[in-house]
Amino acid sequence: MKKTKYILAALMLSATGAYAQYTNSGYFTEGYTYRHQLNPAFGNEKNYISIPAIGNMNMGIVGNMNLQDFIYNIDGKTTTFLHPDVSASEFMGNIEDENELNFDTRIQILSVGFKGFGGYNTIGVSMRGSLYGMMPKALFQFAKEGITNKTYDISDFGLHTNAYAELALGHSRQINDKLRVGANLKFLFGLANIDAEFNKAKLRLGKDHWDATVNAEIQASVKGLEYETETSDFSGKPYVNGMDVDGFGLNGFGMAVDLGAEYKLNDTWRFSAALLDFGFISWSNNMVATTNGDKNVTTDKYKFDFDENADPDFEDQIDNLGDELMSLYELDNEGDKGGRTKMLGATINLGAEYTLPAYDKLTFGLMNTTRFQGENTWTEFRLSANVAPVKFFSAGVNVAAGTYGAAFGWIMSIHPKGFSLFAAMDHTLGKVTKEFIPLTSKGTFNLGVNIPF
Amino acid sequence: MVNYKHFYSLLFAAAATVSTSCVDDNYELADIDTTVGLNLNELTIPLNVESITLDKLLDIEDDSRIQKQVVNGKEIYAFKENNTFKSDNVKIPVLKVTPQYIAPIENTLDIQIPSSYANEASARSAKPVCVFPVKTDSETSFSESGDADPAIVSIKSLSVEGTASHDYEMHINVGDPKIKRYVSKVYFDNFKLLLPMGMKGKFTLDVNHTEKDVTDKYNPKTGVLDLSKETLGVTDFDMHIYADMDAIDFEDAGSEVTFKNGKFTYSGTVKVLSGEIAIYAEDINTGAGLQDIPKTLSYVCTPKIYGVNVTSFTGEVQYDLDNLKIDPVAINDLPDILSQDGTDIKLANPQVYLSINNPLNSQYGIWAQASLSLKATKNGVEGNGAWSDNINIDGARNVFCLAADTEKAADELLEEYADAEIVKFEGLGDILSGNGVPDKIYVDVLNPRLPVQEVENLALGQNLAPVEGSFMFFAPLALDETSKVIYSETLDGWFDETLEKLEIRKAAVSADITSEVPANITLTIKPINVKGEEISDVECEPVTIAASSEPQPIKISLKGKIRDLDGVIINATLSGNGEAMSPADNITMDNFKVTVSGEYIDEL
């Protein structure tokens, strides 16, 4: 139970952050309290202090696996894609070669912004987490198109989760009339980092023989985590069949910086750039479970005997083959391989903002965001229109296109004196099920209540 | 202070506005249909399959009539059934010969006085004072007869055993009181007697109560007992001749013995061929003289013959052996593969081994003969038959291999019958042929007999050792090309929750088969549903697996929608190539593949 509790806690935490840890819709929106998180060169006009825990809640899901691609309406009834009346071609037409899903969250525990030291300063404590999963197309081909004699490569099947607490100290200042720069220095306190991946997973269903190759590894940096093992029916050796966490807590330390700059070309054009989360976390442990290289199973080595008195008989061999196939996924417990240091996924934001000369309350912005995180690297371009007709209200709408497709975003910020409320969606939820489950995998939501002063 | 009331109101309004306007009523996860269809698209499952021997495939049970047998060092499957048989004892009854009364010869002899007689007292060397010559023209007939067992065809000689103290006797009496008054002794001089011819045994002369063996005086070829050299002075005026026969020699007896139509007759004439009653002077009582001697003398010759039992004979015999029966061969406890209707087995090399002991041969040189017939029946209805005529049992131990194909049988004789005489047995190959394997084979030993043949001193009235032996029906499981073994097996009980959800559109099993099994096997497979009915509209092409040392590709295909599968009916038809099936016959299945197309539909 202890194990389950901690793992669930880690995953829930993870399921709350990278894509939705920032609200790009607010990049050009005056009055959005947390613009400095998008570019540390941005400073607020007012001081503020966040309402604990609800000052800036980001959560979202982004990917190219949409729920609507997996559920269908057949004769008025909601079905899964595996329903026999759902054609394989229709379903597979919606499936990408690589299918990814990001769950991200960021909860601002506390944030304070204030003017001083010749600029604008911020102090923030937040919890950040992300969960990234990827599934290859072959997996869905296997399930939907029907099993046939071909090679199924499910190597790109993995799960990565990362959770840490962040203490950020920021400062921005005007260098001159045109240039403003800023930086955040972040102290990172690692909670959990798990990388589980099939480096290689191939199932070759040939007509003459079948074979399977698996190369998988789990690296887990979680305090108190131990792998549970049991003895393999096939090899007689212990293999990992679970994990237990005893004494969950801080398990690493790291640092990162955000760097930003904004250049005001003239009264109508501003350009900005920021590098976010450039840093690392040094994890205290690295619990490794691995296949230790490629594991292969080939059916050639099994000979089946129809003689029911044979030893092994036909059914025994089926069981033996099954045991060996199962052993493909049996990972050796390598124990703690020592600490490891992992870079954070860095983000670069580039922005260009145009203020309508005829109505300077209205601006248009073009932003490019690129996140560098290995195979989860993505980019998007976002074009926005932002308006701040009065001092206590600002809003913006935007459209985006990028790695995960097109999106429509919006932001609304009400920030009268003494109160600030904002809500934003970089990826506006499209249709939802009756249970309000988004039918697409693009949905982010940012909400926060702060006290400006 | 934050106005939370306002915050939550706004939050709610925003969420409600955004969310409710975007709800797609087409999707309701709370009531999702979790039906799942998993497809198999021509999925070929390759399997390395161990070659399998017929031994493993047939799995013959211990009580099966078909078992492994070693023939010429090679283990084969064969039907083997053993039985023993034994005739009743051979016994030819004693031939009882019953005599008929023999009339005595009675004469009055006339005295003759030799001319040189001079009334002198003389010794025996002297001439008699008078003689009474026996009348040689008087004779009488003897006859005895008996009905012989039909086993006795002809007789050359008989050994007999008397039923009285003697078998034959002749009593000559001249005890006329008139002569006894004057003479104390008479002599039977120059007596030659004609007795029945052919007698063998002991001849005894009894005079004055003194017996003398005169066997050597008897000539069986003539029947003459020559006593002429004997000095037969008798004081009681009687002479007895006894014959104690051991045998009657038919050749010597000539026409006096006949054996016709089973009737033995011994008849002829007996008489005194010569002789005279002589009186010597010295034997005339004192005070009497020649003149007192009667001029005539009463003479009685009384032959008697007594019944005899013939205890053995030399001649020709013919005997029907009784009770030479062999229990039917029960064709049960066959493997399922051979016991179904429609099966028509024609065996390539069935054999019947007969091992017969004939003790009469060693003792008497007697040979026997019999014919053998097999008749198959099924449920009481007669089927095919096989027969072999006139098997000669002419040794003390006789071993036969009865076979339809004598050449093949010669090549495949069982080691323990290596010295068997191979005899053609017509129809044996088809003995099991018909609609279904017969349940019994009746074995009839036809006309078991001792054919007409000469024997020597064959004992009568005794239990002679019986003819006995063993019978083995040995049929290697070697089917000829016209055989048809129909085997159908239903494998069912498969239906369960998993198969209920499976729909097979197409299935195939393919392999490159090398078969050492000497049979062509044609297979069809038909799927059946839970009601045990064949699933309709499913195509199944039969495939044939031939005996071949070269790999032959085969493919068993089922095409059509198969649902509610509960099993399959496997129909196999086998025909052979004449070779015997062996437990070691190997079936190799290379490139064994199962290809399936279908869909599995389930609720998650």
pLDDT, residue B18, reads 52
pLDDT, residue B14, reads 53
Among candidate residues B103, B124, B101, B104, the one with its CA nearest the CA of residue B172: B104
Residues A83-99: pLDDT tens digits? 989 998 999 998 988 88
pLDDT, residue A428, reads 84
Pairing of strands B421-424, B397-403: parallel
CA distance B86 to B448: 11
CB contacts < 8 A, A to B, total 153
Residue A439 host element (H or E): none
Tokens 């064709």 found at:
B331
CA distance B84 to B324: 10
Residues B326, B332, B334, B337, Cα dihedral to 10° = 120
pLDDT, residue A20, reads 55
Residues whose CB is less than 8 angstroms from the CB of residue A451 and which lie 6 or more positions away in sequence, other chains included: A48, A49, A50, A51, A418, A419, A420, B2
A107 vs A247: which has the higher pLDDT: A107
Helix residue ranges per DSSP H, A271-372? 314-327
Gyration radius of chain A's alpha carbons = 26
CA distance B366 to B151: 13
From residue B248, alpha-carbon distances to A63, B316, B317, B363 in Å are 130, 16, 17, 22
> In this structure, what token pair is assigned to residue B313?
């004979």
Long-range contacts of A263-270 (CB under 8 A, 24+ apart): A263/A178, A263/A179, A263/A180, A264/A177, A264/A178, A264/A179, A264/A180, A265/A178, A267/A355, A267/A357, A267/A360, A268/A354, A268/A355, A268/A356, A268/A357, A269/A352, A269/A353, A269/A354, A269/A355, A270/A351, A270/A352, A270/A353, A270/A355
CA distance A82 to B39: 10
The residue ranges of chain B whose pLDDT is under 50 are: 1-9, 11-13, 16-17, 19-21, 118-123
A451/B2 CB distance under 8 A: yes
B29 contacts in chain A (CB < 8 Å): 71, 78, 433-435, 437
Cβ atoms of B132 and B277 within 8 Å: the answer is yes
pLDDT, residue B73, reads 82
- Sign, CA dihedral B532-B533-B535-B539, equals positive
Q: Is the pLDDT of residue A15 over 50?
A: no
DSSP 8-state class, residue B112: B
Which stretch of A168-172, A429-433, B181-185, B357-361 has the lowest confidence by average pLDDT? Answer: A429-433
Considering only CB atoms, B29 lies closest to which of A310, A423, A433, namely A433
Considering only CB atoms, B26 lies closest to which of A73, A148, A425, namely A73
pLDDT, residue B289, reads 86
pLDDT, residue A97, reads 86
Among candidate residues A219, A215, A200, A107, the one with its CA nearest the CA of residue A161: A219
A210 contacts in chain B (CB < 8 Å): 45-46
CA distance B158 to B311: 7
* Degrees, nearest 5: CA angle A77-A82-A86: 60
pTM of the model: 0.71
Residues A129-154: pLDDT tens digits? 999 898 888 888 888 888 889 898 88
CA distance A353 to B315: 146
A145 contacts in chain B (CB < 8 Å): 39, 41
- Sign, CA dihedral A450-B3-B8-B13, equals negative
Backbone angles phi, psi at B472, to 5 degrees: -135, 120
Considering only CB atoms, B2 lies closest to which of A74, A83, A419, namely A419
A451 contacts in chain B (CB < 8 Å): 2
Residues whose CB is less than 8 angstroms from the CB of residue A302 and which lie 6 or more positions away in sequence, other chains included: A317, A320, A321, B47, B48
Cis geometry, peptide bond prior to residue B335 (ω within 30 degrees of 0) = no
Q: What percent of chain A clears pLDDT 70, i.e. is strictly above it?
A: 96
CA distance B142 to B144: 7
Residues whose CB is less than 8 angstroms from the CB of residue B95 and which lie 6 or more positions away in sequence, other chains included: B146, B147, B148, B149, B152, B158, B264, B309, B310, B313, B460
B32/A436 CB distance under 8 A: no
Considering only CB atoms, A433 lies closest to which of B27, B44, B591, namely B27
A304/B32 CB distance under 8 A: no
Neighbouring C-beta atoms of residue B114, cutoff 10 Å = 12
Q: Is the pLDDT of residue A400 over 70?
A: yes
**pLDDT averaged over every residue in chain B:** 86
CA distance B209 to B167: 19
From residue B367, alpha-carbon distances to B311, B320, B323, B425 in Å are 21, 12, 17, 21
pLDDT, residue A61, reads 86
> In this structure, what token pair is assigned to residue B89?
């004892």
Tokens 């102290």 found at:
A187
- Averaged pLDDT for residues A160-178: 95
CA distance B34 to B66: 56
A429 contacts in chain B (CB < 8 Å): 18-19, 22
Q: Is the pLDDT of residue A5 over 50?
A: no
pLDDT, residue B125, reads 58
Neighbouring C-beta atoms of residue A137, cutoff 10 Å = 17
Residues A281-328: pLDDT tens digits? 999 999 999 999 999 999 888 988 888 788 888 889 888 888 888 888
Q: What percent of chain A clears pLDDT 90, i.e. is strictly above it?
A: 58
> In this structure, what token pair is assigned to residue B314?
């030399």
Residues A353-396: pLDDT tens digits? 999 999 999 999 999 999 998 877 889 999 999 999 998 999 99
CA distance B377 to B437: 9
- pLDDT band, residue A233 (cuts 50/70/90): confident
Percent helix, strand, coil in chain A (nearest 5)?
15, 55, 30
Tokens 């009346």 found at:
A85
Among candidate residues A109, A127, A120, the one with its CA nearest the CA of residue A169: A120
Q: Is the pLDDT of residue A11 over 70?
A: no
Among candidate residues B537, B403, B525, the one with its CA nearest the CA of residue B472: B403
Cβ atoms of A338 and A324 within 8 Å: the answer is no
Residues A29-41: pLDDT tens digits? 988 999 999 999 9
From residue B542, alpha-carbon distances to A305, A390, B336, B522, B573 in Å are 24, 88, 21, 6, 10
CA distance B108 to B112: 13
Q: Assign B125 to helix, strand or coil.
A: coil
Considering only CB atoms, A84 lies closest to which of B7, B591, B601, namely B601
Cβ atoms of A217 and A332 within 8 Å: the answer is no
What's the gap in Å between the CA of A217 and the closest CA on chain B? 29
State the distance between the two ends of chain A, measured CA to CA, in whole angstroms: 46
A414 contacts in chain B (CB < 8 Å): 10
pLDDT, residue A14, reads 40
Q: How high is the ipTM of this complex?
A: 0.79
- Sign, CA dihedral B60-B64-B66-B70, equals positive
Residues A317-362: pLDDT tens digits? 888 888 888 888 899 999 999 999 999 989 999 999 999 999 999 9
CA distance B405 to B174: 82
